[in-house]
Structure 1
Amino acid sequence: MADERVRVRSTLELMSHVGRTCEARGIPYLFPKAFQDYPDFGDDVDLLVLRRSTRVDTAIVAGLPIVAVARDLGERFAVTATYRIRGCSSPLDVQHGRLGIVGEHDEFPRVLVQHARPIVVDGIAFAEPPPEDQLVLQGLQRVPGRLRIALSDVVFTVSTLRRSTLDWDYVIATARRYGALPGLGCYLGYVDQIHRDVFARPLLSDTVPGALPLEGWGRIAFRDGGYRFPIVRANGRLYWGQLRHRIASGDWGGAGRLFLIPLVAGARAGRR
């Protein structure tokens, strides 16, 4: 327990240092998921900046005892970089204006930063996205390219849906605009399955819009420390749905990036 408190405190201090540096240098930034599990933290710290080049990292980590972690093919396409900091067990993952397996989502990051609202954690000022944007973010990230859904993600989603008066019109419109609607429906469908299995009642009420595609993703089950789902079925459906969305909206750059996903998946499978 004492070691965990030290880890949490060192992570907060790292985030505070990075945040002050970004503000001093005029770099728009956000820690989009840092406080979803607070007072616990995940294994790393995700930092989102809007500048789409890793060159900005020189300023961000200035003065920190860092070691850059080698990037794989997908991380290069997605323009992400990871740094280990001496004295902090949580690596810093920097995402540069893009989200997704190969950086295919390049518009929603700006929405996250623009809508961020101030919070104070352990006496330190930070910012976080509103619940609606966090839910859309889960639609982009929780299933695509993943092998499992972590229990901590399920707990966060259940607590958010239970306690928040969500603006579902905004959630649906935003998810549809940024190509997250199928992923959000898939993820919430799985979470609803879990909730039914554990509590014998649905999580999602009749007030949830019918536009969410909650059905047809297959069964989810807890195995080996996480919730496992039909990977090929879910990711295949999401991939082709995302490709159709990009083509229909004339986003040829985003569509082109999607063709890189099988290449990245093959490279990562070869390393396992």
Structure 2
Amino acid sequence: MGESSVRAGGGIHTWLCLPLQDTAAVAQGATISPTKVDAIMPATRTFEIVKDAAGDKIAFYNSWAENYDQVDAIMAATRTLEIVKDLFVSVHKDASVGDKIAFYNSWAENYDQDAVILDFSAPIQAVNRLTSNFTGDREAAVVLDVACGTGMVAKQMKTHGFGHFVGIDGSEGMMELARKTGLYQDLRQCIMGVEPLPVQWGSFDVVVITGALSLGHVPVPVVRELCKAAKPGGYICMTTRLDDENAEYKAALESELKRMEDEGLWRRVEVTEVKEWEKAVNEHEEGYITGFVYLYKTI
């Protein structure tokens, strides 16, 4: 097999691999239909093929219909670290609450795979620290998953024996994917920092929030609501990152956590520093940034 260009419906489609006899036929001016090409090598469809196909108008779409559903898969396979970096930079930019919600709604379908590309470790790091210290009945424990997103934390906690989850998020698109996991007994929409958490205080054995305590997202004072949501003796697990952009927020967060401890609202169980938290996304940073897991227990 070799690389060739295929004439189809008047357009030229590059980077398809065809059997030698078809390559020779094309070289002599023959036309090979997109349907035949797809039947010969369905697995070789690439992002370049999809882009080229878009220029061939109605006739080509008629012949392309059976492969149209592959577009999302092809687009997903070609997502790169640079694309994901741009997305993460965009979501941390100063924008209205409505704009950010719309952004997360549109990002929901690709969020999990983009987190993998970024090596985003907050959910697994938080769950590891929580489960290492939790002493209660995991099967009976009720978990409040704040900023639950697509359900990453619940998926991790399920593998450690937890099974009762209530999720809160500002994005309906994210919550729809969380709903599809089948792990949540309830999902509630809330813009944290704008609206109070829609829960009864003192109801949860565990309250967890990962990836959302950062500049431009959940304001620092919301941690007081997290504490109120937990039962006496309940655990609150939180994360934040340390990069140039988030350094001031992190300092304010830690000051508030210490203030609440001084007020007798909770006690610190542990604070864990993780060097390879996620890949750096800012232009002036390279490699990985550091993150922190904060674990507290209410009094």
Normalising by structure 2, report the TM-score: 0.26
Select the structure with the greater relative contact order (CA < 8 A; seq sep ≥ 6): 1
Normalising by structure 1, report the TM-score: 0.28
| Higher radius of gyration, 1 or 2 | 2
